Amino acid sequence: MLNLTGKNALVTGIANNRSIAWGIAQQLHKAGANLGITYLPDERGKMEKKVAELVEPLNPSLFVPCDVQNDEQIQSTFETIRSKWGKLDILIHCMAFANKDDLSGDFSQTSRAGFNTALQISTYSLVQLSGVAKALMTEGGSILTLSYLGSVRAIPNYNIMGVAKAGLEASVRYLAAELGPQNIRVNAISAGPIRTLASSAVGGILDMIHHVEQVAPLRRTVTQLEVGNTAAFLCSDLSSGITGQVLYVDAGYEIMGM
């Protein structure tokens, strides 16, 4: 049985009720995990209020700002975990960002700055958070990140994010190799396209979703809660023999030849 009682889980990447991280947080809560939630702060504190209201029903015992471009916020996030929880069991990395200009047009025109932004926020952040989290995962643990098929296929307009996700998936393997001896497992879910804040800002996303509905074996897209269920599995003892993997939660789309 899937049981996460007694497990402390830090969930990053909730922006609103469409976020994949929100689907994951709900399923981890359902499985009995004790939740900590981070949010990306803005100047007006609007995000803090919005996310706090959303997650309230899940009774998070920890709610902290964490912009991964801010080293101090990362340090203080894990300092809070150390003092309030003592140990960490589960880390959900569910964030990505590239400049909007870099998600259309010619990939070869990606600027150095745009390349750096995408890889810092979308790729390096997993390495950095894992590096801090490992010291708190004293009884073993599970680290999970979110990827997309654009890491291994040239998907129109995904551009620099495809490179960032390729780096993310490689980072999963190197982290799994390093942390395995401490019984810390590291995996990725490669999710099919879902309408979220990030994906809705992308031109042509509805056409992509329509295409998946025609071609995927299950003839539909996946939901945030389905990704959440697989996340709960990958964070539980049910998956104790799985590490370093990228698991597709995409209604089967990845296997198809068109």
Compute the C-alpha angle 246/247/248, nearest 5°. Answer: 120
Q: Which of 68, 88, 103, 188 binds ligand NAD (CB under 6 A)?
A: 68
54 binds ligand NAD (CB under 6 A): no
Q: What is the largest CA-CA distance in the chain?
A: 51
CA-nearest of 96, 84, 95 to 35 is 84
Q: Which of residues 31-50 bind ligand NAD (CB under 6 A)?
A: 40
Q: What's the token pair of residue 168?
A: 């993310």
Q: Report d(CA 35, CA 60) in Å as an integer.
A: 5
Q: Which of 9, 10, 11, 14 binds ligand NAD (CB under 6 A)?
A: 14
- Give Cβ neighbours of residue 113 (< 8 Å, ≥ 6 apart): none
Sheet hosting strand 62-65, strand order edge to edge: 62-65, 34-39, 8-11, 90-93, 141-147, 184-191, 246-249
Q: Report d(CA 89, CA 183) in Å as an integer.
A: 11
Q: Which residues bind ligand 0WE (CB under 6 A)?
A: 96-98, 100, 103, 148, 155, 157-158, 161, 193, 198-199, 201-202, 205, 208
Q: Which one of 39, 124, 158, 253 is the catalytic residue?
A: 158
Residue 39 among the catalytic residues: no
151 binds ligand NAD (CB under 6 A): no
Residue 67 interaction partner, one of ligand NAD, ligand 0WE, none, beta carbon < 5-8 Å per kind: ligand NAD
Residue 13 interaction partner, one of ligand 0WE, ligand NAD, none, beta carbon < 5-8 Å per kind: ligand NAD
126 binds ligand NAD (CB under 6 A): no
Among residues 15 and 31, whose Cβ is nearest to ligand 0WE?
Answer: 15
Among residues 90 and 208, whose Cβ is nearest to ligand 0WE?
Answer: 208
Which of the residues are catalytic?
Answer: 148, 158
